[in-house]
A and B are shown apart, each in its own frame.
Chain A
Amino acid sequence: MTRASRFKQLAGAAVVATAGLALTAPADADTIRIGSSLSVTGPASFLGDPEAKTLRMYVDRLNEEGGVLGREIELILYDDEGDASRALTFAERLIEDDQVVAMVGGTTTGTTMAMVPAFQEAGVAFISLAGAVVIIDPVKEWVFKTPHTDRMACEKIFEDMQANGITQIGMISGTGGFGASMREQCLDVIGNYGIEVLADETYGPRDTDMTPQLTNIRAAQGVEAVLNPGFGQGPAIVTRNFAALGFEVPLYQSHGVASRSFIELAEDAAEGVRMPTPLLLVADHLDEDDPHQPVVTDYKATYEAETGETVSTFGGYAYDGLMLLVDAIERAGTAEPAAIRDALEETEGFVGVTGTFNMSPEDHMGLDISAFVMVEIQDGDFIPVE
């Protein structure tokens, strides 16, 4: 071995050693540790993946801009694969071992509800990214969430039906967590809108053909619209079967499928389908003077430039979760878990990409129904109908 190459080898070893030190040193010092457990892979990966990318991207950004309260943020992110028991293990690890000051995560209602008791007991604020209303109703001291509830989606849909003079509908719901919960919420509020359900069908999360269920709905006399609570590929198949069966009434989908991939899977059958969506999806159609416009456009541009993928509403929930937390830490002036929680609860007029958040001791989500936009799919694009 020549002298030069030996020197290179030693120098290399030294660089690696010091780099290792440099990487580990600040972690123990003065960083703000934020935890997260997301379903990056597994059946809910299309939700968890953009969420994880968003969190990583914006934590890096915040650190480049000098961190929060002059301290660097350290993101500790686990992949629970959509499995509730894994999520619980990670929740305990985040609390016990990683000693995080707060948590932004919980991709699905199932994983969220599994983790709630751990955070409640430890007294660490938990901002969930999952949809169902049970997460914040009844209010849990340490638990918040950023997406709209399924109940609000039902209300938005029924408002639109009412405006169109629809009084009798058929429902076809997924039996997965999201679909089952939304079906229940919709049936709970439907009476307020004078709408009646004539046919109430369901399908399994792995079902590949919903023609029999839709045939039953078609056979029910007087159905003026069909509502499909559910997410994943199920609603795309429902939409395709619905078009094939030649229904002449409108089809309403939930916010759970408000993404490009729904249009790609359902193709032409998606034309004319209506659904409530968060503002993010109609970023290009927002008014210039809408307060959300700059936030939404900036997030969309940043996400699309860095990942090369189309922005999805799910990443937007993660953006809002992280930014609400940063805002709360800054207002609290400290990264103490209890102070963060109190500040989160006092959030007022916070403009995110999903809507404007106004938290209170009675409301740990803080969005109202105005954060939803009713859209119709026209020529493969989401067009606001209001």
Chain B
Amino acid sequence: MGRRACSRPPILPCRPAVTVMAELLQFLFSGLTVGAVYALVALGFTLIYNASDVINFAQGEFVMIGGMTSVFLVAAGVPLPLAALVAILAAMVVGVGLHKLAIEPAKGATIIGIIIITIGASIFVRGMASIVFDKQFHRLPAFTSEIPIIVGGAVILPQSFWVIGGGAVILVLMWLFLSRTVLGKAMLATSANRLAALLVGINTRMIVTLSFAVSAAIGAIAGILVTPITLTSYDIGVLMALKGFAAAMLGGMGNPLGAVVGGLLVGLFEALGAGYISSDYKDAIAFIIILAVLMFMPNGLFGRPGVERV
């Protein structure tokens, strides 16, 4: 590499190309890790939306319940795998409770009404968490090693592999569930046409309940995977729900693959935006994405056009 190989404007410091590459890699690693979590949250949004047309803004609370329950159980001496399992079950109980106690009784309410109910439920869950747990930040130990791995000059934490790998495994399991099992097919049928599904003998009420349980479990798993990196507290759910919602919108509300792609993109945009533009606007990126999607492509990247639903 020549000494003056860099052709940036003279104001910017001239850096060797290797560093520039390493920088980009670092932003990508960071973006993919955070993006994988957004993807899982978005997947939760998608599942519930498909089964019941409800946009569940309490989705972020499942992430919090997963993380916080594990933290407190581990602190009480429970081994991590068992703690994680209990945390996932706890989130599922809350998810089913949310459906049975708050959403089902409001059957017939407008979409806006239901959305407001889920926001109210999320505030309630957050308040309960601040009492049941506490208001401090907590961490979980990394699942395997804490020693960072260096790839092409950029570093990646082993826990990031857990997050990205965990997200991939869940996606594959979801795909197998939806395409290979009767229950999964029933769920797809319900999302395609609830009345028709009911007519062919599918218990759609059970399917909707199931979708709340599964999406709560996915949220909780995301929370457990990411807590060793990002820490957790009773109120992380708000931002998670907003970022996950942006991801689901970007991917096209209702499309599981779109949710995953949308999540990764939101994570990458945030990391690249913070790195190359300004870190001041990092949290604004999710909102810019929501606005851009609403204005320019209301169906998102992979969304079905609204006509099909009629």
Contacts and interface: CB of A to CB of B under 8 A. Distances in A.
A41 B234 CA distance: 12
B157 interface: yes
Interface residues of A, number: 35
A202 B229 CA distance: 19
B13 interface: yes
Interface residues of B, number: 40
Contacts of A5: none
A233 B231 contact: yes
B155 A220 contact: no
A261 B136 contact: yes
A215 B280 contact: no
A46 B226 CA distance: 23
Interface string A193-208: 0000000011110111
A40 to B, nearest CB: 10
Nearest to A214: B26
B33 interface: yes
A360 interface: no
Contact of B229 (A203, A209, A265): A209
Contact of A215 (B157, B233, B275): B275
Contacts of B34: 208-209
Given A46-B136, A246-B155, A265-B138, 20 more contacts: A45-B136, A203-B279, A207-B283, A208-B34, A209-B230, A209-B271, A212-B26, A216-B275, A219-B15, A219-B19, A221-B15, A233-B137, A233-B233, A244-B148, A244-B155, A245-B26, A246-B150, A264-B139, A265-B231, A268-B146
Contacts of A221: 13, 15
Contact of A211 (B19, B30, B226): B30
Given A203-B279, A219-B23, A208 B231 contact: yes
A314 to B, nearest CB: 14
Given A41-B135, A244-B148, A265-B137, A212 B229 contact: no
B198 interface: no
B173 interface: no
B231 A201 contact: no
B107 to A, nearest CB: 35
B49 interface: no
Interface in B255-273: 271-272
Interface string B137-167: 1110000001010100011010000000000
Given A209-B30, A215-B23, A265 B274 contact: no
A209 B228 CA distance: 12
B239 interface: yes
A207 B26 CA distance: 17
A271 to B, nearest CB: 13
B130 to A, nearest CB: 8
Contacts of A175: 280
A203 B31 CA distance: 15
A237 B233 CA distance: 13
Interface string B22-34: 0100110111011
B19 A212 contact: no
A265 B275 contact: no
A51 B308 CA distance: 60
Contacts of A353: none
A296 B230 CA distance: 35
A31 interface: no
A211 B279 CA distance: 11
Nearest to B228: A240
Contacts of A265: 137-139, 231
A203 B274 CA distance: 9
A267 interface: yes
Nearest to A245: B155
A262 to B, nearest CB: 10
B194 interface: no
Nearest to B275: A212
A299 to B, nearest CB: 22
A213 interface: yes
Closest 4 CB pairs of A and B: A208-B230, A212-B275, A233-B137, A211-B30
B135 A220 contact: no
A212 B271 CA distance: 6
Contacts of A203: 279, 282
Contact of B27 (A206, A215, A237, A268): A215
6 contacts: A204-B282, A212-B279, A213-B275, A213-B279, A215-B275, A245-B26
Given A203-B282, A265-B139, A220 B275 contact: no
Contact of A267 (B139, B155, B235): B139
A206 B155 contact: no
Given A212-B274, A219-B15, A206 B136 contact: no
Contacts of A46: 135-136
B229 to A, nearest CB: 7
B218 to A, nearest CB: 19
A264 B231 CA distance: 11
A244 B146 CA distance: 8
